[in-house]
Structure 1
Amino acid sequence: MVGQLTPTMLLDALAIQVDGPRAWDETLSIDVVLTDSGERYRLRLRNGVLTHTAAPQREGADATLTTTARALPALALGGLTPERLADAGIEVSGDASVLSRLGAVLDPGDPDFAIVTP
């Protein structure tokens, strides 16, 4: 899939934005269900790290996001509110407060950082 953003690439991009020290005491889980491909992912924030897996889970998630793969990039645009996600075509069920808790520990970083310094 050269040139296409896959769901796992997007979830990895979201994970690297987590401010570990700020997220240390947060524990939450979010299921992401892609209706067009049948894929399902579990996001889990624990010990300052956001991980994801496609493996089936026994326990339920705090919240579930149901959408298509095409609408999924809205997660990376910030503003993880149910209203903004609904505008992007993402349905939120369960405890929507986990979205704001996740959003509160994301730090997109400085897009103008110097990759190479003189």
Structure 2
Amino acid sequence: MLFDAIAIQINGPKAWDEKLSIDVVLTDADERFRLRLSNGALTYSSAAQSGDADLTLTTTKAALPALAQPTAESLAQAGVEVSGDADVLARLAAVLDPGDPDFAIVTP
């Protein structure tokens, strides 16, 4: 899933002191997910959560790939409704490390 792909890009040591939560609401699928960044790891759950998230993103499944590059501009272009603390997106983007695209999966 997309949330797993984002989670593996988290730079753990860089994100260690960050604490944030994001609700992702999929209107066409009637689903809701809570993403949490804490202790250098991004986790998510579809279980009911208590309290409000720092940021809520409301979108459709078709626009979900826009979350792969979490900037206010890319989300607005995809038609994602952003409510809450928009700085959370910048904080999340700041701890993402895309990794090495030339990583040798198989070596001779």
Instruction: Please indicate the TM-score interval, normalised by the length of the shorter structure.
Output: over 0.9
- Whole-angstrom distance in 1 between the partners of 2:74 and 2:45: 25
Q: Quick check: 1:93 aligned with 2:83?
A: yes
Which residue pairs with 1:19 in the alignment? 11
SS of 1:31's partner is strand
Instruction: Provide Cα deviations, 1:32-90, integer angstroms capped at 9, x if missing partner.
Output: 000000100000000000000001011100000000011001111x2x22222010111
Q: Distance in 2 between matches of 1:73 and 1:112?
A: 23
Query: How far apart are residue 117 of structure 1 and its match?
Result: 2.1
State the TM-score, normalizing by the size of structure 2.
0.96
Q: Distance in 1 between matches of 2:71 and 2:35?
A: 17
Q: Distance in 1 between matches of 2:88 and 2:43?
A: 15
Q: Structure 2: any 5+ residue segments left out of the alignment?
A: none
Whole-angstrom CA distance in 2 between matches of 1:12 and 1:21? 18
Q: Which amino acid aligns with 1:16?
A: I
Moved over 3 A (4+): none
Instruction: Structure 1 unaligned segments of length 5 or more: list them.
Output: 1-8
Residue 112 of structure 1 and its aligned partner are, at CA, apart by 1.5
Letter in 2 for 1:84: S
SS at 1:70's partner residue? helix
Cα RMSD for the two superposed structures = 0.8
Describe the superposition over 1:2-57 as per-residue Cα deviations: whole angstroms up to 9, x where unpaired.
Answer: xxxxxxx1111110110000000000000000000010000000000000000101
> Which one of 87, 92, 97 corresponds to residue 107 of structure 1?
97
Counterpart mapping for 1:61-80 below 5 A: 61-76=53-68, 78=69, 80=70
What TM-score does the superposition give when structure 1 sets the normalisation length?
Answer: 0.89
